[in-house]
Amino acid sequence: MAHSLKPQKVENDIRNFGQWFEDRLPLGSFIKDGLADYPTPRNLNYMWNFGSLAGIALVLQIVTGLFLAMHYKPDIHLAFDSIQIIMRDIHWGWLVRNLHMVGASFFFIVVYIHIARGLYYGSYKSPREVLWGLGIIIFLLMMATAFMGYVLPWGQMSYWGATVITNLLSVIPFFGPEIVIWLWGGYSVGDPTLSRFYAIHFVLPFVIVAVVFLHLWALHHHKSNNPQGIDLSKADDFIPFHPYYTVKDIFGLGVYLIPFTFMVFFLPDALGHPDNYIPANPLVTPAHIVPEWYFLPFYAILRAIPIKELGVLAMFASILILFILPWLDRSPVRSARFRPLFRPLLVLFYANFLFLGYLGAMPAEAPYTTLSALATAVYFGFFAALPVLAIIEKPKPVPLTI
């Protein structure tokens, strides 16, 4: 925005407080331009609800987390019991904790759908590469936050999950083992680990909020993509965000809250693991150790390669590869609607991702290990095929207007 150096006429009568304040800090017009009047493509479908849903899920995690933090004790002797006190003694503590637990799972469901939508409609392509990359950063921060949050109840899954995941870093050449000891603050996962994980678990959501602001800034700079994936220029291609999309998002929120509250009240532990209600025991590893469900596809990739270093590398690469997706996919057509080869390939990719999640939950034995290797090959094969696809694919005619 160009800076105007012309003297502005300002309201100096403080009795006209709204205008007086606005002329000193234009907060009202910032909200009005950014949220109310923000021009939004008029053809967005329900897949576009998941961005704002993710924002609401983040706020819910922060609010419930704040109230849990008032009762939780980050000490290996007190942590497990403090969760039980929250569940039994604190008035409504069970509700706040169930909201936080189920909220974490639903946050990931929403974000996975949000990412899947971005893949389908080519929302990662120019000029939205930075918007997409910021989204991947948010996803990584979410994974770190969720992982450390799962350690806090100090149950068996907390302890052994923390042990396994932190040991991943031991593959770092030369300094790996030293880095892991530094991360633990001891020679195994212990009290210092729990305290620092709690501190980081508390602060990371606010880092996420900051990156979300950058994500929205990048979004508003080029406006939302749309199901046709074409650039919009006509004024009547757009409608103001308020009231059209505020109403649609609130309606979507209502639909979302039905399964969400059902889980909170009737199946709060369905997505967790019963072993986490056994206090952490450094001497006994549970027979079948699995991460939280939202990590399972990546866990399957980790186990698919029977060489430690390569497995860890593949797991990190499976997420990091999303950063370079805008340059792997050279096709000028954004929306999968007009890409006869990309579309079935992407559907296969989705199915394969779900299949990886299933494999991650299975024990590491035949035939699951072979299938994991196969599914991992399909996962990376999708990305490898994209540059070729852009050359051999003949897109359907793309409409010039919505």
Partner 1 sequence: MENTPNNHPPSSLLDDDAPIGNPAAERRQLLINTTTAFAVAGAACVAVPFLRTMSPSRATEALATVDINLAEVPLGSMKTFLWQGKPVFVWHRTPAQIATAKAQDATSTMQAQPDAERVQKPEWLVVLGICSHLGCVPMQGGKSDGWLCPCHGSQFDLSGRVTQGPAGKNLDVPPYQFLNETTIRVG
Q: Which residues pair with 279 in a beta bridge?
A: 155
Is 90 an interacting residue with respect to partner 1 (CB under 8 A)? yes
Q: Which residues pair with 40 in a beta bridge?
A: 239
The answer to whether 194 touches 79, Cβ cutoff 8 Å, is: yes
Residues 34-73 that bind partner 1 (CB under 8 A): 36-37, 63-64, 67, 70-71
CA diameter of the chain: 78
# of chain residues touching partner 1 (CB under 8 A): 30
292 is catalytic: yes
Is 12 an interacting residue with respect to partner 1 (CB under 8 A)? no
Contacts with partner 1, 378-397, as mask; x by CB under 8 A: --------------------
CB 90, min distance to partner 1, A: 5
91 is catalytic: no
| Closer residue to partner 1, CB minimum distance, 93 or 205 | 93
The DSSP letter of residue 294 is: G
Tokens 């205008």 found at: 19
Among 41, 65, 74, 93, binds partner 1 (CB under 8 A): 93
The interface region with partner 1, picked from 226-234, 239-247, 268-276, 292-300 by CB under 8 A, is: 239-247
224 is catalytic: yes
Among 21, 22, 144, 248, binds partner 1 (CB under 8 A): 22
Q: First CA to last CA across the chain, in angstroms?
A: 29
The answer to whether 141 touches 207, Cβ cutoff 8 Å, is: yes
Q: Which of 100, 249, 331, 372 is catalytic?
A: 249
Quote the CA–CA distance of 265 and 387 in Å, as a whole number: 47
Quote the CA–CA distance of 71 and 96 in Å, as a whole number: 11
Among 96, 134, 189, 390, binds partner 1 (CB under 8 A): 96
269 is catalytic: no
How many Cβ atoms are within 10 Å of 3's Cβ, its own excluded?
4
Q: What angle do CA 152, 61, 355 make, to 5 degrees?
A: 80
Tokens 């196969």 found at: 374
Point out which residues bind partner 1 (CB under 8 A).
4, 8-11, 19, 22-23, 26, 29, 32, 36-37, 63-64, 67, 70-71, 85, 88-93, 95-96, 240, 242-243
